[in-house]
Structure formats: structure tokens, C-alpha cells
Structure 1
Amino acid sequence: MEKQGKEKKIIKVYQRRRKQSEQGFSFPVDLASEILLRLPEKSVARFRCVSKPWSSLTTDTYFISLFKARSPRLLLCFEANDKLFVSSIPQHHQTFDIWNKSYSSSQPIDRYQMELISKYPNCFNPTESVQGLICFQKLATPIVWNPTTRRLLTLPKPDGSWKEITIFLGYDPVEGKHKVMCMPLLRASSDCRVLTLGSAQESWRTVKTIYNHRSDNHTHGKCIKGVVYYLAFVYRSDVEVVMSFDVKSEKFGKIRLPPSDVHKIFLMVYQDKVACVDRKPNMNDGFRLWILEDAKKHKWSSKDFLAPIEHFNESLGCYSLLNGFTHAGEFIYVVSSFKKSSYILFCDPLRNSFRRFELKGITDDESVLNNNDRSQIYTLHVFLNHVESHTSL
């Protein structure tokens, strides 16, 4: 009910602003909105300069929400030559028969580059993409990045005594707000720091975690329906659990993992639920996924998948690892690092089909990938289900 009331309020504000600005348009504002929603983010950003009514329309909360609802993309970035190279491709595309040698597919690419390393050296260890925003850090200083607007926002340090931190980015769908949550790295703590983005009056707040714990070194957290999940260890214990952080209420929870004989690797999102993947014993062509069905009852279900990835790793000459799932249910296999020629693989388990995206054309600086130095290896960061956002920083 609260969410519906919020949506009605946003719609009323949007309709009021539409009436106020309608005189500034030579054609109906509804038509203008529909046209703008179908344009690339670069064009929308340029059209803000046309007039005040156009600027008001494209920065309206309701318009931004509709813009985010468009088809998600796969965002890629890597560092080279003191720059960050960013590109994105559509996630949904025609698939090809698994044994057909013509399974390669071309995708339209949006790409750009930005100065990053000179200003923020050795710091790019990003969170996942949460409603269009990504967070990383430099010397325990959180930095928020909007890849769509290419804007960076440096936040104040959450705690002067914390020399290293773990960062989680969450989103409250009811209030429509992002929150950054920080904890000391590899050190048990009974509290954390939380900051709400978008308010000049906001500062870091101390929130009790209830459970004294430390986050896993490799966890980045997964935000699902207003809750951030991450792997952690309970204080004075080697027991690994899944911690939950409700973004709106800022309350913590603790969830037991599946049976202890299962080796947990990392968390991912499957059908809007948190899940952990484990390779099945005696099953070279598949894996087992543990899916959280009920957090309060610590109830998990398991599902087995067939995915003959080794066949394609051998034929393509690269080694790919499962990175996650698209909203459409495809597995995505990516390389953690690449040279001149590598691929991202999309697998549809229902159609028993694969398609691949070759890491060519992801930068307009051809000298980067055409480097003759065979020892040059780039670290690839991949963000699944990324949505474009015009949220200002």
C-alpha cells in the first residue's frame, strides 16, 4: 500500500509538471516523453539543453523511472593507458543452436572512455550495478559512479580509523533512494556506517549490525528487492553465513547457508532470489545452484543445470567462469582477464543454446586491443542487468 501511494504521488507530480510545461512544447508532452524514452541516453542528455520544459521533463522522477525500466544491458569496463574504457551491449538477442559453428553474434555497442586512474590510482574494485549506479573506493574513501551520465561523486570517509573498507550499495524501491553501507575490511565489527545519496544534509550514520561479524574478502553484495545480501563470518567462528541488510529499515539479519558439505563460491541473483553456485561432484558438464526460498526459515532449494562450457572453452581458446544470470534466465560466462581476443558466452538452458560476444569493438582506441605485447592482460569488470539512469550525483 505504501509503495502504491508513493507511485500515485509521483504520477500526480508528473502530471502537474506536464501541464505547467505543455506550453513550451510544439506538440503534446506525452508524445515528447514517448519519443525521448526511445532515444539513447546520450541524446536524452543533449536534449536537456533545448529548453526548460525539456530539462524539467527529462529530470523528472517519473521519467527517470520509466527510462530505467527499458531493456537491461551488459556493462563492461577495463583499465588501460591510464583510462577506463566503458562499453555496453544488449543482453537479449537471438540465440543459436549449441552445435552450430555460426553461433557468433554481433551486438550494437555503446562505448566511451574516461580518465580515472590518474585521479583514482589502484582503486577500481567496484560493487555490482544497482539501479544504474556503481560504487568503488580509493584509500577507504567511497566513490559513486553513474556510467550513464559519466559522473563521479566522492563521498567523505565513513570512519577515520578504518584504513580499508568493504562497500555495499543498496536501493530502497519504496523511497526510491540509494544507500551506501560500509564496514571495516577483514575485521569483525558490531556496527557499520550508512549514508543516503541525494540529500545535501545527509552524513554517515552509525548502525548496529546486531551480529558481530566480518564480511568475506571476495563478496560484493547483491541487492534484491530492497535487501542487500553478502557472505560473512560470525565473530570468533569459522562459520560462514549470508547476512542481509534491509535498505529501508536499516536492519540486519543472519541466514544459514545450505548444508555444510557444500562448498559456497559466491552469491548471485537467480529469478529475483539470492543464490549460491556450487559445482556438482562427478558432473563435469554442469553445476548445482542453491536458491534461498525463505530467509526467516533459512530454507534453500537446489537446482541442477547442464552447461557443457568446457567444450566451448576448448574451441574458443579461452577459459570462462559463470558470472551470473540475466533477467531472461540466460547464464553468462565471462573471462576475469583478457588479451587481444576473448569472448563472453550467453547460455540459454531451456533452448540448449549458446551465443558469444567477441571482445572486439569495445573501445574506439584500436591501439589498445591491437597491442603486440602478448603479455599485456587486462582485468575485465562485467556488470549484469545494468540499467541506464539519469540520476544526478
Structure 2
Amino acid sequence: MQGLSKPRSELPEMLVLEILSKLPVKSLTHFRCVCKPWSSSFQTPHFITKHRHNNLKSNNLNVLFKRFNGNTRGDLYYFSQLSTVKGQNFSIEDNIHLPFFEICWYAPVADGPCNGILCLDDGHDKAALWNPSTREFKILPQSSVQRPPLVDSTTFRSLGFGYDSQTDNYKVVRFVVNYFEEDSDAGLMFDQNDQVELYSLKSDSWKEISHPRVVPGDSPPFNSYVNGFYYWQTIRNCDFLILSFDMVNEKFSTLPLPQFGGTLAQYYLHLLDFNGFLGAIIYPREGTDKYFDLWVMNRSWSKTLSIESVPGVERPLGFWKNGELFLESSDHELVLFNPCTRQLKNFGIHDDRETMQTIGYVESLIPINGRSEHEERIIRRPAVGGSN
């Protein structure tokens, strides 16, 4: 007598997708091959949103580390993907080289993240969007915005990147400076005209928008995207201000700096996203025995955190989980500082210049209508033995 086969039990489809939405992007990429319904489900707005919310809720952060090579001019800057698995002490998983920016000094400049997406630019006319989780890369088109007549040269600066929640769109705003050559009795002179242009991912095109009549200053990490707004430091009539751009209504406005009792000639001020609010880390320019104050804007500025006298460090690089702070040491190494225990962890990751940048981001499946890293010749080199 043949044994009776046990009935096969199947989980409800919604429960299966709920479980899958809690997995890393790398696992989902493999599971796309399991069956076509799964592959299709992973691309739906509902699943993409659910997956991102689960990562946010679990605080599943990943870290990219921008660093300097210095060996050849054609391959100066690259990114290292750091392991965030507990106990691995941020060892390097992959070193990522982007040939699109290979002949550009100090490039790429990384802006973001915004919903797991980065905007990269070279400070000139090259810009791209990158989702390091899905490994999708999109080169932005050349601007079609008309320049004034008789322009001799054009430069691009002060790029900002963010998300328009009203239209579910990603936007890039940048300032354009047009130069004119003029002959005079005193010799060759230059004049300039400023424009602002805005890129929309949905239309894949640029348009001109109104200029705020103030020009932002420093590049990231001094500036930041926070909850629908992009913020830059700027100056107007000898007063330092913060310039903001609303990604929904595409308007500029200004707000004051925190009243921290000093000047920007004496202190650095880094803008950042702190739990969905605009934050500013302020610290002295001189010395390697640094202290850091965190100010947060919630209707008005208030000092939220003070970290006293951390020896042997140059500057902050950004917050990590549980209020820990990434710092660059005076020896140009990546360290993590715990304000509660005042313990410094050194991970042995070294950089050759004071240009390192940490980018903490939450994985996302959000598409950017680009091509794969492989198609764009982006090179990921696994670190041999976790070498730093």
C-alpha cells in the first residue's frame, strides 16, 4: 500500500511578499530568477515603497566611503563599500571606480542620499544619478537651456538633489555662471551672468528657473538635502545665511544660521539631515583637539548635542546609528566616536587627503531609468581579504 503524500501547504501571496520586502536588495536580485510573478512584484510601486519603509523602520543603513587614490590622474577618487555586518568593523567589501568621472579632478562629488539614490557631478557639466543598491547608473543629458548671446564660457556649480513627493519625481538644481570677454583700454576684462537650471527625472530634461540673487558656496558635505528641501550655505550683503530650495514648488528662500557665538571665519558649519530635520554641526577650524556642537532646526534653532574635547581628529563626516559619529582623524583615518562612552574606534581605513566622505544610505529598489553599472563600465573590485 502506497503511502499517502502530505498535502503541500502554500503561504498566501501577500505574506510571501511581506517577507520578501524585508530582504536586502542583493537577495531580491537573485530571487528575480525564481519566478516571473516575483520579478514583476519587485518592480511595483507598492513593493518598492514597502521595502524602503521596512529598511527605514529597521534602520538598515549602508555606508559608502569616498576616498583618494593619488596614484594616477585618471583614477583619483573612488568609493569603498563598507560592510555593516555586526562584528566586521566596517571592513571594505568592494572598491568602486566610475570611469565616467575618471579625468575630473576632485570628482565625483556625491550629493544625497535621497531615498537611496545619489547624484554625482564633476563640478562642471557632467552629472549622473546612481542607485548603489540596484547598481543602476544614469548619465544626465546635456542642458538645453539657452545661454545669453555672446557667452564666452559657462561653468556649473552648487548642485542640489532631492525628491518631489507631490509628483513622485527626482530633481537636480544647479547654478550656472556665464562669462563674457570684453576688450577695453585697460586690457581684457570679464563680465558674468548667472542662471539656475532644474533637471527632472520624469521628463529627463533641464529647464531654467528664477535665480534667488544669492549664490551658494561650498560643496557637500557642507550642504544637505532634508525632507523635500535642499540647503546651501550662502552670503548676502556680508551676512551668512542658509539658502533653501523647495523641491515641490521649485522656490528659493533663506533662513538664518544658528546663533552659536562665533563666526564662520573661526568655525566650520556642516549642514545635515538629523532624523528628518535640518541639522548643523559646528566645530573650530584650528587645532586637532576638537569639540562639536549639533544644532537642529525645528521652527527655530536649538542646540541638541555638545561633544567636548575629542583629541586627534580633524572633522566630522556624519552620524551613524545610536548617535555615533564618523570622524576623520588627524592621520586621515576613518574613526567612529561614541558620545556616551567617549570611545574612539579606528577601522584602519586610510585616505591620502582631507577629502574623505562617508555616505550612509538606506537600500532602495527605486528605478532611475538608467543602465546597469556593467553597461556603464563601472568597476567593482572585491577587497582582497577585506583589505582597507
TM, length-normalised to structure 1: 0.70
Q: How far apart in 2 are the matches of 1:213 and 1:87?
A: 36
Q: Deviations over 1:233-282 (max 9, x none)?
A: 23xx3322101111111111111223485234221233432232333799
Task: State percent identity of aligned pairs.
Answer: 22
Q: Which residue of 1 aligns with 2:347?
A: 358
Q: Which residue of 2 aligns with 1:151?
A: 136
Deviation at 1:178, TM superposition (A): 1.6
Q: Which residue of 2 aligns with 1:245?
A: 245
Q: Which residue of 1 aligns with 2:103?
A: 121
Q: How far apart in 1 are the matches of 2:331 and 2:170?
A: 30
Deviation at 1:118, TM superposition (A): 6.4
Q: Which residue of 2 aligns with 1:225?
A: 227
Q: Which residue of 2 aligns with 1:136?
A: 120
- Residues 118 and 240 of structure 1: is their aligned pair in 2 closer, same or farther, counting only changes over 3 Å? same
* Unaligned segments of structure 1, at least 5 residues: 1-24, 94-104, 314-318, 361-368, 370-374
- Residues 30 and 357 of structure 1: is their aligned pair in 2 closer, same or farther, counting only changes over 3 Å? farther
Report the 3-state secondary structure (helix = DSSP H, G, I; strand = E; otherwise coil) of the residue aligned with 1:135. strand
Q: How far apart in 1 are the matches of 2:100 and 2:275?
A: 39
Q: How far apart in 1 are the matches of 2:359 and 2:214?
A: 27
Which amino acid in 2 is paired with 1:58? F
Q: Which residue of 1 aligns with 2:198?
A: 194
Report the 3-state secondary structure (helix = DSSP H, G, I; strand = E; otherwise coil) of the residue aligned with 2:235. strand
Q: Does the 8 Å CA contact 2:140/2:204 hold for their aligned counterparts?
A: no
Q: Does the 8 Å CA contact 1:228/1:244 hold for their aligned counterparts?
A: yes
* Unaligned segments of structure 2, at least 5 residues: 1-8, 148-152, 180-191, 369-388
Q: Deviations over 1:310-348 (max 9, x none)?
A: 0xx3xxxxx44212323633222135984xxx332132x
Which amino acid in 2 is paired with 1:258? P
* Of 194, 202, 205, the match for 1:203: 205
Q: Which has the higher strand share?
A: 2
Q: Does the 8 Å CA contact 1:190/1:213 hold for their aligned counterparts?
A: no
Which amino acid in 2 is paired with 1:29? E
1:56 aligns with 2:40: yes
Q: How far apart in 2 are the matches of 1:192 and 1:337?
A: 39
Q: Which residue of 1 aligns with 2:157?
A: 165
Deviation at 1:218, TM superposition (A): 3.4
Q: Which residue of 1 aligns with 2:84?
A: 90
Q: Which has the higher helix share?
A: 1
Deviation at 1:37, TM superposition (A): 2.7
Matches within 5 A, 1:305-320: 305-310=306-311, 313=312, 319-320=313-314
1:111 aligns with 2:93: yes
Worse-superposed segment, 164-173 or 25-34? 25-34
Q: Deviations over 1:192-231 (max 9, x none)?
A: 211222x2x342122213x301111334532212111111
Q: Which residue of 1 aligns with 2:6?
A: none
1:262 aligns with 2:262: yes
Which amino acid in 2 is paired with 1:152? F
Q: Deviations over 1:7-41 (max 9, x none)?
A: xxxxxxxxxxxxxxxxxx96432233233234332
Deviation at 1:57, TM superposition (A): 1.1
Q: Which residue of 1 aligns with 2:377?
A: none
- Residues 185 and 332 of structure 1: is their aligned pair in 2 closer, same or farther, counting only changes over 3 Å? farther
Which amino acid in 1 is paired with 2:273? V
Q: Does the 8 Å CA contact 2:175/2:194 hold for their aligned counterparts?
A: no
Matches within 5 A, 1:71-86: 71-78=60-67, 80=69, 82=75, 84-86=78-80
Q: Which residue of 2 aligns with 1:287?
A: 292
Report the 3-state secondary structure (helix = DSSP H, G, I; strand = E; otherwise coil) of the residue aligned with 1:215. coil
Which amino acid in 2 is paired with 1:164? F
Q: Which residue of 1 aligns with 2:23?
A: 39
Matches within 5 A, 1:169-184: 169-184=161-176
- Residues 301 and 68 of structure 1: is their aligned pair in 2 closer, same or farther, counting only changes over 3 Å? same
Which amino acid in 1 is paired with 2:357? H
Which amino acid in 2 is paired with 1:121? I
- Residues 119 and 261 of structure 1: is their aligned pair in 2 closer, same or farther, counting only changes over 3 Å? closer
| Structure whose CA Rg is larger | 2
Q: Which residue of 2 aligns with 1:3?
A: none
Which amino acid in 1 is paired with 2:118? I
TM, length-normalised to structure 2: 0.71
Q: Does the 8 Å CA contact 1:126/1:135 hold for their aligned counterparts?
A: yes
